[in-house]
């Protein structure tokens, strides 16, 4: 399959926060493609070790938490001034995280791709690149930076592009987490062949959070597809309830990043002894 730098094909623009982030990301990606051409990324990928198995750690019979390293968000601003990526990653692994998610979008989340590489070097956990990905070049960039998985947001991708990016990820040894918020987005993700579906309880167009979104959609996720509940998860009871409903894993960011001690916060979520 031939994949080029691939164009951006987003859904109808509505002037939402999500639209503004994607527009800004488009400009940043176009600039970076000039600085780091695709052949350079491909050479870096060839030198890298194979990816760690993201799907496997989400399949364990446990409360599998994807702990997210996120410095800021558009809805809440700066979450954590003190942001020692390597120390945070190592402590979250020690506290029982199944995997890590690292925000790499610079403008709205104060992220950086180097944070992902740094976090991965300090742990044995698979690491997800959390970003607004709409171009094959970004998937190559993720693997060149040693990401083990990457996020695809159904709301910003048409069916053809979603399918192509999933396929490219698999060619590179990465299974993408496909994020959805509605039944229609979930249907599109499954039709495109998603094997890991993430239900985002936060509506990316309004940033409103409803954990019930997960409860409402879990019945639509087939048994062979891993299900991840994302956003708004604050207590051990939340995780137990959603695990019983059928979720395999839980992505938790702000609850950890706003805690004085993120590792201690994760232990409380998992009810692990200190």
Span 147-188, pLDDT tens digits: 999 999 999 999 999 999 999 999 999 999 999 999 999 999
SS3 state of residue 176: coil
DSSP, res 209: B
Of 256, 235, 273, nearest in space to 101 by CA: 256
| Domains defined along the chain, listed by start | 17-270 (3.20.20.70)
- Residues labelled as active-site residues: 68, 70, 130, 179, 200, 230-231
Residue 2 binned pLDDT confidence (cut-offs 50, 70, 90): very low
Three-state secondary-structure class, residue 208: coil
pTM score of the predicted model: 0.93
């Amino acid at each position: 399959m031939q994949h080029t730098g691939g164009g951006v094909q987003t859904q109808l623009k509505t002037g939402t926060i999500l639209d503004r982030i994607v527009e800004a990301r488009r400009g940043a990606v176009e600039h970076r493609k000039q600085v780091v051409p695709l052949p350079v990324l491909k050479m870096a990928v060839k030198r890298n070790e194979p990816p760690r198995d993201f799907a496997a750690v989400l399949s364990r019979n446990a409360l599998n938490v994807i702990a997210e390293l996120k410095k800021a968000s558009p809805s809440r601003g700066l979450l954590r001034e003190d942001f020692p990526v390597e120390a945070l990653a190592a402590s979250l692994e020690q506290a029982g995280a199944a995997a890590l998610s690292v925000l790499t979008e610079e403008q709205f989340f104060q992220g950086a791709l180097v944070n992902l590489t740094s976090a991965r070097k300090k742990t044995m956990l698979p690491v997800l690149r959390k970003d607004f990905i709409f171009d094959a070049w970004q998937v190559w960039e993720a693997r060149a930076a040693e990401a083990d998985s990457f996020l695809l947001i159904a709301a910003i991708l048409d069916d053809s592009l979603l399918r192509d990016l999933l396929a490219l990820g698999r060619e590179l040894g990465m299974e993408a987490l496909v994020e959805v918020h509605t039944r229609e987005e979930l249907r599109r993700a499954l039709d495109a062949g998603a094997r890991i579906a993430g239900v985002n309880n936060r509506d990316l167009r309004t940033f409103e959070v409803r954990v019930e979104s997960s409860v409402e959609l879990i019945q639509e996720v087939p048994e062979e597809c891993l299900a991840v509940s994302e956003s708004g998860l604050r207590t051990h009871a939340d995780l137990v309830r959603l695990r019983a409903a059928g979720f395999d894993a839980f992505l938790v960011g702000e609850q950890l990043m706003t805690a004085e001690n993120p590792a201690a916060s994760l232990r409380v979520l998992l009810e692990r002894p200190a």
